[in-house]
Chain A
Amino acid sequence: MILSDGEIEEALGNGEIVIDPPPSEDQFTTSAVDLHLGDEILELKTFEQLQSEEPDGVIRPILIDPGEIDIYPYLQKYAKPVPRASDGSFMLPPHKFVLGKTLEKIKLPRTIAARVEGRSTLARLGLVVHLTAPTIHAGFSGRIILEMCNFGTYPLQIQPKNLEICQLIFERLGREPKGPVRTVYVDQETIR
């Protein structure tokens, strides 16, 4: 069942859902909360940029196998900050793919999942904010990764922090998921 604006406010009020910083009144719609684009935007280096980082004469073909366990160092190595204008905005040309995050940090209980979706106004310009990965699992904590691409005709000038880039739809699970099991490990040193 999708939570209404009032149910979302109740869940925020009693701490069941945490959004940090808390949303203002105008971030709510009837059945979702709009979230802002965070300040850190990454793009993946082009083949030419990666090749220029290799020693002279070394040709390293790029073929990524998603099943390869050590793919993380590649993602870390291949990413770089997107160039920014003096006002902090960045330009997203047609068919350009970048990674961003929501400004707000989210914490969900294990009984509420969410879906991140684009906003229709921005979609009309061709801006996609996620690529086949809208599910925010129950129990999630953190900022939401946005896989953004401009499928429109014109370059877009995007201002992080100010732009409400996406919306978050909350759904209460029909029953609690398996676990959590209270084991002896819970009482051990944890990270909090």
Chain B
Amino acid sequence: MGENKDENVAAIRCKVSLGMFEDERAVHVELMDGRKVSAFVDKDDVSVEEEPSAASAVTGRVRVVVVKENDKSVILDLPQSTITNGPRVEVNKELFY
């Protein structure tokens, strides 16, 4: 989709399932405190090796922007707000690997 490519984009591991609309996906991310949050994001913000189905989620990666890096965690912005909170979340650094 056009220009405006952000060179600071990274990606973290997540679970991916179908969204409400055809061109969106639901991503599920585990936070640093162990809570799990979900967000509906554009399909283009997600990469998967196989597409999720109505019956099962798959492992994938979602585009993020890193806002702050701590010793063991990273504060980042997901592409969309999570269903229970906003888009800014704290995750374990291991999710980048």
Please give the residue numbers on chain A whose beta carbons come within 8 Å of chain B beta carbons, in ascending order.
15-18, 20, 40, 42, 66-73, 75-76, 79, 99, 101, 105, 107, 109-110, 137, 139-143, 178-183, 185-186, 188-192
Known: A67-B84, A101-B21, A143-B42. A179 touches B4 (CB 8 A): no
Q: Looking at the complex, which one of A42, A67, A110, A185 makes contact with B6 (CB distance below 8 Å)?
A: A110
Check B77 for interface membership: any CB of A closer than 8 A. yes
Pair B1/A75 contact, Cβ less than 8 Å: no
24 A-B pairs in the complex with CB atoms less than 8 angstroms apart: A18-B4, A68-B84, A69-B36, A69-B37, A69-B38, A70-B38, A71-B38, A72-B38, A72-B40, A72-B83, A73-B17, A76-B17, A99-B21, A140-B79, A141-B45, A178-B67, A180-B65, A181-B67, A181-B69, A182-B8, A189-B61, A191-B47, A191-B62, A191-B63
Q: Is the CB of A183 within 8 A of B66?
A: yes
Assess whether B46 is interfacial by the CB under 8 Å rule: yes
CA–CA, A75 and B74, complex, Å: 29
* Contact assessment for A107 and B2 in the assembled complex, using a CB-CB cutoff below 8 Å: yes
A182 to B69, CA, bound (A): 9
**A39: min CB distance to chain B, Å:** 10
Determine if B10 and A185 form an interchain contact, defined as CB atoms under 8 angstroms apart. Answer: yes
Hey, what's the 0/1 contact readout for B1-33 against A, CB within 8 Å counting as 1? 111111111110000011111111010100000
Q: Give the 8 A-B residue pairs with the shortest CB-CB distance, closest first.
A: A15-B3, A180-B8, A142-B42, A179-B67, A18-B2, A191-B47, A185-B10, A72-B38
Q: Using a CB–CB distance below 8 Å, which chain B residues touch chain A?
A: 1-11, 17-24, 26, 28, 35-38, 40-42, 44-47, 54, 61-63, 65-69, 74, 77, 79-80, 83-84, 87, 96-97
A69 to B89, CA, bound (A): 14
User: In the assembled complex, which residues on chain B have CB atoms less than 8 Å from the CB atom of A76?
Assistant: 17-20, 26, 54
Report the Cα distance A180→B6, complex, angstroms.
Answer: 9
Residues of B near A15 (CB, < 8 A) are: 2-4
What are the residues of chain A within 8 A of B11 when measuring CB–CB?
Answer: 188-191
B29 CB, min distance to chain A CBs, angstroms? 11
Question: With contacts A181-B68, A182-B66 known, what are 13 further pairs, Cβ within 8 A?
Answer: A18-B1, A18-B3, A66-B84, A71-B84, A139-B65, A141-B44, A179-B8, A179-B66, A179-B68, A180-B8, A180-B65, A182-B8, A185-B10
Asked if A40 and B9 sit within 8 Å, CB to CB, the answer is no
Contact between chains at A191 and B35 (CB < 8 Å): no
Which single member of A70, A142, A188, A192 contacts B5 (CB below 8 Å)? A192
Instruction: Return chain A residues, CB-CB under 8 Å to B35.
Output: 69
Known: A137-B87, A139-B65, A186-B7. A105 touches B36 (CB 8 A): no
| A110 and B38 in contact, given A141-B45, A190-B11 (Cβ under 8 angstroms) | no
